[in-house]
Amino acid sequence: MDRLESKLAKPVIQTLAVIGIGLIGSSILHAARKRRLAARIVASDKSQAVCDRAVEIGFADEVIADIALAVRDADLVIMCIPVGEYARVGAAIMPHLKPGAILSDVGSVKACVFTALDPVLREDVHLIPAHPVAGTEYSGPDAGFASLFINRWCIITPALNASAAATARVRSFWEEMGANVEAMSADHHDLVLAITSHVPHLIAYNIVGTAADLEEVTQSEVIKFSAGGFRDFTRIAASDPTMWRDVFLNNKSAVLEMLGRFTEDLTALQRMIRRGDGDGLFNLFTRTRAIRRSIIDLGQETAAPDFGRQRAPEKS
């Protein structure tokens, strides 16, 4: 690969290791290479087919299937795997990390990162979890693109006693990839994402399932008339099943808490409909319209309602 090109810039990281070459892993590889964020980039995946494909794409200096070898010289290791695999992979790589290495991730749930890794964490390894709030409904090594993180938020959740220098390196790594970085506690992250991401995904999965099970309305009718609102729920409900299973299993209490409130509110809305309370419905619908307006006013809306999925792939 273009080692020479990398050496021309001043890399943030000497050796970067990306574990898991799916949508996010491959996007990091594209972006890190394009922006010369590491002098040497190593990629690893448990699937030999994915490793072979990564060699063909050529966005890493080395593709090493054996994760113990892959992480050996890394200054920054980023796990881009379902959160349910953290404990197993963490235990497997821990003895092989070099002293002072930074271990990070990209998971959509954050408190569980500490639960999974604290039992095996070495004192001379810095754990700095991160969550780029970005994605598409596509998966695999060919799904990634270098611009995925541009102008998207990346939330980092370092522990209170985390090394300031290690935290700063992870922050600047994400900023170099184009993201806006915000730090918060893992617990607060999990609460915020429960309402802005996890519960929306859950109700999208749910309504698609409900529609699939109807007998009075055929599947063909659901599909034909899906433009009335349903269709876009199917997009969100096409996201990676393993990743989302692990999100819900690992953010149980915040999801159940937010889901409880959602259901309470829905029950109240159902009561308004049953009782014909037009004023109550009108007031809610007016209030939600105003919230939409403030999202637009604050520049958090793009022309396309994309669930974060419509950024055009850019070749790195």
Q: Which of 7, 168, 231, 314 binds its own copies (CB under 8 A)?
A: 231
| Residue 58 near its own copies by CB under 8 A | no
Q: Report, in Å, the least distance between residue 54 CB and its own copies.
A: 24
The residue within the footprint of its own copies, chosen from 53, 114, 238, 313 (CB under 8 A), is: 238
Applying CB under 8 A, among 52, 168, 305, 314 the residue interacting with its own copies is 305
Closest CA to 43 of 31, 57, 29: 29
Interface with its own copies includes 134 (CB under 8 A)?
yes
Burial of 72 (0-12, 13-18, 19+ CB in 10 A): middle
If the CB atoms of residues 48 and 294 are measured against its own copies, the closer one turns out to be 294
Q: Does residue 171 interact with its own copies by CB under 8 A?
A: no
Q: Where does this chain touch its own copies (CB under 8 A) — which range of 50-58, 65-73, 170-178, 253-261? A: 253-261
Sign of CA dihedral 194, 82, 120, 182: negative
Report d(CA 146, CA 108) in Å as an integer. Answer: 20
Contact 77, 51 (CB under 8 A): no
The SS3 assignment for 29 reads helix
- For position 245 contacting its own copies by CB under 8 A, the verdict is yes
Contact between 125 and its own copies per CB under 8 A: no
Q: Which of 8, 160, 164, 298 binds its own copies (CB under 8 A)?
A: 298
Site residues (CB under 8 A) for its own copies, limited to 101-120 = 108
On whether the CB atoms of residues 127 and 53 are closer than 8 A, the answer is no
Please, which residue, 72 or 308, has the CB nearer to its own copies?
308
Q: Out of 27, 136, 258, 316, name the contact with its own copies by CB under 8 A.
A: 258
In the bound complex, what is the minimum distance in angstroms from residue 106's beta carbon to its own copies? 13
Rounded CA Rg of the chain? 21
Beta bridge partners of 62: 42
Reading phi first (left if > 0) and then psi (alpha if -120 to 50, else beta), residue 178 is in left
Minimum CB distance to its own copies smaller for 71 or for 204: 204
Question: Residue from 155, 164, 172, 174 that binds its own copies (CB under 8 A)?
Answer: 155
Residue type, 104: S
Q: How far is the CB of 10 from its own copies (least distance, A)?
A: 31
Q: Which of 58, 252, 313, 315 binds its own copies (CB under 8 A)?
A: 252
Is residue 266 within the footprint of its own copies (CB under 8 A)? Answer: yes
Residues binding its own copies: number (CB under 8 A) = 101
Query: Of 16-24, 44-52, 111-119, 279-287, which part binds its own copies (CB under 8 A)?
Result: 279-287
The whole-angstrom separation of Cα 10 and Cα 187 is 35
* Secondary structure class of 88 (helix, strand, coil): helix
Residue 149: strand, helix, or coil: coil
Closest distance between its own copies and the C-beta of residue 182, in Å? 8
Collapsing DSSP states into helix, strand and coil, what is residue 251? coil
Residues 50, 83 contacting (CB under 8 angstroms): no
Contact 127, 103 (CB under 8 A): yes
